[in-house]
Structure 1
Amino acid sequence: MNTSAKTLTIGSGMEKPLLKLHAAMDTTALWRAVQLVVKAALPGSFVGLTLQHNPIQPLITKWTRSIPDGSFDSTPLTKYLDSHPRSRLVRSSDIFPERAKLVRSDFYRQYMAPQRRAHAIGLFFWRGRRLIGVIVIMRTAEQGEFTSAQMKLLRSLYPQFQTALRRLGSLERERSARGAFEEFIRRLPLPTILLRWNLKLVYQNQAA
């Protein structure tokens, strides 16, 4: 039975999952929080998170349950995104309006069918024209296609996920830059130390 539109809002039951989402400091914590948010919003869903796309195929994939690694024919998705640039919410039925074509697709056979899922939606996140991540939510035939109320809820959650992904990306770039700078300082032949504004030691190389 589909949940009524009145209950599909960001209410008190979403507060703790969303707090965990915005507190995530690494990919593992982000993935755990994404699962909690989706579980609170759409119980019984099968969830995936993909990151570091190049340009469509991801380097990092995480699923509610283990799925064998392997690429799939992303041509239908690529064509859809080319004609609908920077799409945010994309249902499997948007890419494959004909059910028969969906069932024959690589994505259905590799990801949906083994989990006994009949419907899927992807929340696509972008930096400019570059795809940086996708949250995949799959539902059973009994649960049915995503309703207008569920779509509205996912649209309201999209900015929450987007903010968390952007913040995590900034943290990772900061860590990478700091690591590169520390490596540079470490290689200097002269004793070198870095201090904060209050003279607290931040880093010192081996020569120091």
Structure 2
Amino acid sequence: MTIKENILEILDDIKKYSPNPEKVKLVAVTKYVDSDTIKEVLKTGVNILGENKVQVIEEKRKELPENEYDIKWHFIGNLQKNKVKYIASYIDMVHSINKLSLAEEIDKRAKSHNRKIDVLLEINISEEESKEGYILKELLEDIPKLLKLENINICGLMTMAPFEEDEEKIRTIFRNLRLLKEKWNKEYFNGQLKELSMGMSQDYKIALEEGATLIRVGSKIYK
């Protein structure tokens, strides 16, 4: 199948599996593909690109006609504080806020560019040692400080499910993130948490059923 056919299939799945398909956006993960391949993605109308390395975004930005495709760059990996300065002027969303110091650095750099950057709080719901993300207890302690930062817009939550066969375990993790979003919207965020970034190539259908609004899909697009 072509990239276009694969993307059309994913877009059909969004309509089929999501209770609110109009709220769902496809993030095309481009970390393993070159700029010519990315152009094939952009030609389909999908313009949100997800990368997990600052240097790679910088290189690809030079190679892609950004104005022609209205590219929106989402940072989806573990972001080092000392790299924030390179992307603060243009990044559209950071999916992976996993510590207060990172949020503070993004806030500072956004302010220097007179911007407000959309961010998601990454939560390690399954508490796997191999996964990045906040442990719930630590995040609860940081929420009051996070809410004081004026140049980031905390607009949702993100998680990664474990790589395993048990679909019910995966579903439970996604469901728990959605329930957390609903709870925190009432308790802390006054309804500002709109986004749920969850689901990748192998499990995005389950994520959609559980309320994902951002699915991060890579290999399924290019296979």
TM-score, length of structure 2 as denominator length: 0.29
Give the number of the structure whose alpha-carbon radius of gyration is greater.
1
TM-score, length of structure 1 as denominator length: 0.30
